[in-house]
C-alpha cells in the first residue's frame, strides 16, 4: 500500500477538524493544519522518503510528534489519533466539513441545535427553513448550503489537479514498466489542465491488452475493480479517484487522444465538421466509409478537417476551432518562458524559508528574479508585517542584493485591501517598494457593487501594482466572491496595473475565462507561485497550465520579461 503526501495531509486536516469540533487546544489544531498545508501539493515527497527509510530534512512546524504520526500513516495507512477522534465525535459530522461555508464551529452548532450530523439531514433542515434562525447563518447562507448539497449530489467528488497528479505520475510509471507497452498517456480534463478532475483517462498502446489490464487491476492502490475486459478496465483507487484504462493499437493512438481528451463540446464540434466532409471520427480513427484515413497522430485527425493541431488546454469549444481553421491559434506560454516570480513569502510572515533560501530555490529553477511579498499587518494569523517590520525587511533585501549576481530579490508586499478600499499600510513605506500586491482576505460576502467599488478604489492607489488572486476562490472550499471582473479588468487597463494568476493549487485564480478577457483588453497577467517554501515554486507549472487555458501567450505574461523590461512596468502604476 503506497501512501502519498496528500493522504497524510487529508488525515491531518481531518484530525484538525475533529479537534476543533471538540474545542481542543487551538495551538494543537493549528499544528495539524499547518502540517497538512505543508504536505498538500509540496514537491518534497515526504511519504516517499519515509518509505525509503531515509531521514527527513528539517521541516518547519513538523516536530517529533507529527513526524511520528507521518511514519505511522506511511507504515499502516492509518493514524490511531484519528481513529480515536472518530469514535469520540458523532459519526457523519466530518462529511459536513467538505461543504463550502461549513467550518467545524458551524458544524458543531448544527449538531447541538438541530441534531444535524449527515448531509441528508442538513438538506432536510435547509429545505424546512430551520437553519436560517441559527446564530451566524441567515437565509442566504441556508440557500448557499442547499445549492452546494444539490451540486455535490449531481457532480460527485472532484480532485484538485495537483492532488490527481500525485496519483497519476506513479500509475503511469507503473504501467510503462509493463512488457510490451509502447505508450502510456493521460487524457481527459487532466490533460486539459482543468482545475479539478473527476477521474483519470489513461490510454495505453500495446500488443497484448490482457497483460496490461491484469497489471493495471493488480496495482497496489486499487481499492475496487469496477469493470475489466481485454482492452478496457475501470478501477477506484483507495483515495476515491476513478481511473479508466483503454488499450489501443498504435494506428488509433492519435484518434483516441483526441476523443478522450475532449472536452465533450469540442468533440461534438469536430464530429460535425467531419460529418460535413463525409467522415466519421471515433476513438479508433477517422473513417471514410469503412476505410481508415487518419488516426495514428492527433495532427492527422485535425488535418482531415483542415484544422491546425489544437493544444489540449484550448479544447473547450470557445473559438479554438475557428482559430485553427483561420491559422491564428495563439502560441501559448511555456513554463520556460517565465523569468521570475512576483509572489513569494518567507518566515518573516507565514513562510518557512529565509530570503536566501527562497532565492536559491528560485535560481535553481532557472529564474532571474523573485519578489518577496509578505502579508501585511491585518492578516494577524499569518504574522503580517507592520510598517516597522516591513522597513526592516526592505533593508535586509537591499543587503542581500548587494554584490550578488544570478538572481535579484525585489521588495514587495501582499497588502490587505480594507473594506473601504484603503490599503493596510501607509504610503510612506509602500513608496519604498518595487511592487505592491493588493489582496482581498476578508468581507467576501459584500454585494457585487460594493465589492467591485472596494477593489477599484484600491487599484486607484498610486502604489498599487498587481491585484492578487482576483476572485478569492479556494478550491473546493470557497466559491469566488461576487465581483464584476469585466469592470476590474477595464479599470486595470485604465490604471496601468496588472492582474495576478495565483498558481497555488487551491486557487488557480485568475479563472481561465478572465485570463482571456485580460488578454483581449491588453492587461498583463503575473503568474505567481504564492510560494511559502522552496518546494512551492513547483506551483508555477500549474499556473502556466491555467494561463494556457486562458489563451495567454508569452507577451501576455508580466513575468516573462527580463528584469530590465519588467521594472518600468512595475513603476508605471506608481
What homologous superfamily does CATH list for 159-248? Answer: Beta Polymerase, domain 2 (3.30.460.10)
- Which CATH number is 253-326's, of 3.90.1150.10, 3.40.50.2300, 3.30.210.10, 3.40.1390.10? 3.30.210.10
Give the closest residue to 406 by CA, choosing from 347, 373, 354, 365: 365
Using DSSP bridges, classify how beta strands 498-502 and 525-528 pair: parallel, antiparallel or unpaired.
parallel
Give the closest residue to 368 by CA, choosing from 568, 566, 500: 566
CATH 1.10.150.110 residue ranges of the chain are 5-155
Three cell numbers, residue 323? 482559430
Length of the chain counted residue by residue: 574
Mean pLDDT of all residues in 251-266? 95
Evaluate if residue 486 carries a pLDDT over 60: yes
Query: Residue 37 belongs to what H/E stretch?
Result: helix 26-39
- Quick: pLDDT tens for 376-412: 988 777 688 999 999 999 999 999 999 777 899 999 9
Residue 424 confidence (pLDDT):
93
Cα dihedral value 220, 222, 223, 227, nearest 10? -140
Please count the other Cβ atoms lying within 10 Å of the Cβ belonging to residue 455: 27
Residues sharing a CB contact under 8 Å with residue 552, sequence separation 6 or more, in sequence order: 330, 332, 333, 515, 516, 519, 525
Give the closest residue to 407 by CA, choosing from 374, 372, 362: 362
Please count the other Cβ atoms lying within 10 Å of the Cβ belonging to residue 373: 31
- Quick: pLDDT tens for 89-99: 876 677 787 77
- Complete edge-to-edge strand list for the sheet that includes strand 498-502: 340-344, 369-375, 408-416, 435-439, 466-467, 498-502, 525-528
Three cell numbers, residue 473? 476562490
Do residues 361 and 567 lie in contact, with contact meaning Cβ atoms separated by under 8 Å? no
Residue 339 confidence (pLDDT):
98
Residues sharing a CB contact under 8 Å with residue 146, sequence separation 6 or more, in sequence order: 123, 126, 127
Omega within 30 of 0 (cis) for the link into 263: yes
Mean pLDDT of all residues in 223-229? 93
Residues sharing a CB contact under 8 Å with residue 532, sequence separation 6 or more, in sequence order: 345, 350, 351, 352
The answer to which of 110-114, 172-176, 229-233, 398-402 has the lowest mean pLDDT is 110-114
Cα distance between residue 110 and residue 88, in whole Å: 17
Residue 80 confidence (pLDDT):
92
**Which residue carries 500495446 as its cell?**
206
CATH 3.30.210.10 residue ranges of the chain are 253-326
- Quick: pLDDT tens for 509-539: 999 999 999 999 999 999 999 999 898 999 9
Three cell numbers, residue 431? 513608496
Residue 43 confidence (pLDDT):
66
Three cell numbers, residue 362? 528560485
CATH 3.30.460.10 residue ranges of the chain are 159-248
Give the closest residue to 107 by CA, choosing from 98, 115, 97: 97
- Assigned CATH for 5-155: 1.10.150.110
Between the two ends of the chain, the Cα-to-Cα distance in Å is 55
The answer to which of 103-117, 200-214, 470-484, 553-567 has the lowest mean pLDDT is 103-117
Give the closest residue to 60 by CA, choosing from 345, 368, 404: 345
CATH 3.20.20.140 residue ranges of the chain are 335-571
Q: What is the DSSP letter of 207?
A: S
Cα distance between residue 316 and residue 310, in whole Å: 11
CATH topology for the 335-571 domain: TIM Barrel (3.20.20)
Residue 383 confidence (pLDDT):
83
Cα distance between residue 505 and residue 9, in whole Å: 14
Evaluate if residue 51 carries a pLDDT over 80: yes
Do residues 431 and 438 lie in contact, with contact meaning Cβ atoms separated by under 8 Å? no
Amino acid at each position: 500500500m503506497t501512501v502519498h503526501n496528500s493522504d497524510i495531509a487529508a488525515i491531518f486536516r481531518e484530525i484538525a477538524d475533529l479537534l476543533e469540533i471538540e474545542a481542543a487546544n487551538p495551538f494543537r489544531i493549528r499544528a495539524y493544519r499547518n502540517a497538512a498545508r505543508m504536505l498538500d501539493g509540496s514537491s518534497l515527497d515526504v511519504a516517499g522518503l519515509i518509505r525509503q527509510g531515509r531521514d527527513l530534512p528539517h521541516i518547519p512546524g513538523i516536530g517529533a510528534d507529527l513526524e511520528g504520526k507521518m511514519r505511522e500513516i506511511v507504515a499502516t495507512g492509518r493514524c490511531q489519533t484519528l481513529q480515536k477522534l472518530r469514535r469520540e465525535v458523532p459519526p457523519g459530522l466530518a462529511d459536513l466539513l467538505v461543504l463550502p461555508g461549513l467550518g467545524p464551529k458551524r458544524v458543531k452548532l448544527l449538531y447541538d441545535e438541530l441534531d444535524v450530523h449527515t448531509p441528508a439531514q442538513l438538506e432536510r433542515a435547509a429545505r424546512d427553513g430551520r437553519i436560517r434562525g441559527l446564530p451566524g447563518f441567515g437565509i442566504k447562507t441556508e440557500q448557499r448550503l442547499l445549492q452546494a448539497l444539490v451540486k455535490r449530489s449531481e457532480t460527485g467528488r472532484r480532485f484538485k489537479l495537483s492532488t490527481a497528479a500525485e496519483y497519476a505520475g506513479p500509475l503511469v510509471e507503473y504501467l510503462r514498466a509493463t512488457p510490451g507497452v509502447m505508450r502510456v498517456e493521460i487524457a481527459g480534463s487532466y490533460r486539459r489542465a482543468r482545475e479539478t478532475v473527476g477521474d483519470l483517462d489513461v490510454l495505453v498502446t500495446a500488443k497484448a491488452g490482457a497483460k496490461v489490464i491484469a497489471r493495471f487491476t493488480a496495482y497496489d492502490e486499487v481499492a475496487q475493480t469496477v469493470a475489466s475486459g481485454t482492452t478496457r478496465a475501470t478501477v477506484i483507487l483507495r483515495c476515491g479517484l476513478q481511473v479508466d484504462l483503454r488499450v489501443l493499437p498504435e494506428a488509433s493512438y492519435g484518434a483516441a487522444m483526441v476523443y478522450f481528451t475532449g472536452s465533450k463540446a469540442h468533440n461534438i464540434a469536430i464530429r460535425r465538421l467531419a460529418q460535413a466532409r463525409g467522415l466519421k471520427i471515433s476513438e479508433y480513427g477517422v473513417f471514410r466509409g469503412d476505410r481508415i484515413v487518419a488516426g495514428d497522430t492527433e495532427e492527422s485527425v485535425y488535418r482531415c478537417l483542415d484544422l491546425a493541431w489544437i493544444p489540449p488546454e484550448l479544447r473547450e469549444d470557445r473559438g479554438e476551432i475557428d482559430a485553427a481553421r483561420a491559422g491564428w491559434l495563439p502560441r501559448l506560454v511555456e513554463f520556460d518562458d517565465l523569468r521570475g516570480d512576483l509572489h513569494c513569502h518567507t518566515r518573516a510572515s507565514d513562510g518557512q524559508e529565509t530570503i536566501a533560501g527562497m532565492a536559491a530555490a528560485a535560481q535553481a529553477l532557472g529564474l532571474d528574479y523573485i519578489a518577496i511579498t509578505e502579508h501585511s499587518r491585518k492578516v494577524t494569523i499569518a504574522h503580517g508585517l507592520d510598517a516597522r517590520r516591513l522597513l526592516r525587511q526592505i533593508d535586509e533585501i537591499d543587503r542581500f542584493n548587494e554584490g550578488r549576481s544570478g538572481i535579484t530579490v525585489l521588495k514587495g508586499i501582499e497588502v490587505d485591501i480594507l473594506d473601504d478600499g484603503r490599503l493596510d499600510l501607509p504610503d510612506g513605506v509602500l513608496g519604498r517598494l518595487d511592487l505592491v500586491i493588493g489582496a482581498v482576505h476578508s468581507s467576501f460576502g459584500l454585494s457585487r457593487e460594493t465589492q467591485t467599488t472596494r477593489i477599484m478604489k484600491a487599484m486607484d492607489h498610486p502604489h498599487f501594482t498587481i491585484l492578487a488572486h482576483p476572485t478569492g476562490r479556494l478550491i473546493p472550499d470557497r466559491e469566488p466572491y461576487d465581483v464584476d471582473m469585466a469592470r476590474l479588468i477595464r479599470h486595470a487597463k485604465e490604471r496601468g496595473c496588472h492582474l495576478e494568476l495565483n498558481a497555488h493549487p487551491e486557487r488557480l485564480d485568475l479563472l481561465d475565462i478572465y485570463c482571456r478577457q485580460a488578454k483581449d483588453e491588453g492587461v498583463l497577467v503575473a503568474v505567481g507561485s504564492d510560494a511559502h517554501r522552496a518546494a512551492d515554486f513547483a506551483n508555477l507549472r500549474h499556473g502556466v497550465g491555467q494561463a494556457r487555458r486562458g489563451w495567454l501567450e508569452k507577451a501576455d505574461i508580466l513575468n516573462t520579461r527580463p528584469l530590465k523590461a519588467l521594472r518600468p512596468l512595475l513603476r508605471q502604476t506608481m
